[in-house]
Amino acid sequence: DTGVSQDPRHKITKRGQNVTFRCDPISEHNRLYWYRQTLGQGPEFLTYFQNEAQLEKSRLLSDRFSAERPKGSFSTLEIQRTEQGDSAMYLCASSLNGGELFFGEGSRLTVL
């Protein structure tokens, strides 16, 4: 499978714990995006990388959130001190030079 891969697919955690999600984009894609989708809503933009550089961050990305793409390949999204409001699907997408976005199947976070 050469699509966008996300791991884990589902994470259940207790409030206050830290969680980390990983995204492996399509191999030749230089751009990588993180979106968040809550139930009954469309995805909301969080941040975007071109190669290893994080070029845009949404105001939704509070200081508890940090994203990295250290070698311009896979990316991680970490949420510290999780809150119940963080419960959502975290979607990763990749594109080649800003073309069509290909989304992964998402990582679902449940904060108890």
Partner 1 sequence: QKEVEQDPGPLSVPEGAIVSLNCTYSNSAFQYFMWYRQYSRKGPELLMYTYSSGNKEDGRFTAQVDKSSKYISLFIRDSQPSDSATYLCAMSKSGSARQLTFGSGTQLTVLP
- Minimum Å gap between C-beta 103 and partner 1 is 3
CA distance linking residue 78 with residue 87, whole number of Å: 13
Q: Which is nearer to partner 1, 50 or 80 (CB)?
A: 50
Q: Which is nearer to partner 1, 14 or 39 (CB)?
A: 39
Side-chain half-sphere CA neighbours of 19 within 13 A: 24
- Minimum Å gap between C-beta 55 and partner 1 is 7
Under the rule (CB under 8 A), what is the footprint of partner 1?
Answer: 4, 31, 35, 40-45, 48, 55-56, 58, 91, 93, 95, 97-106
**Position of tokens 């679902």?**
108
Q: Which is nearer to partner 1, 82 or 104 (CB)?
A: 104
Closest by CA to 50, choosing from 76, 33, 31, is 31
Side-chain half-sphere CA neighbours of 11 within 13 A: 25
- Minimum Å gap between C-beta 42 and partner 1 is 3
Q: Which is nearer to partner 1, 2 or 97 (CB)?
A: 97
H helix and E strand count, the chain: 0, 11
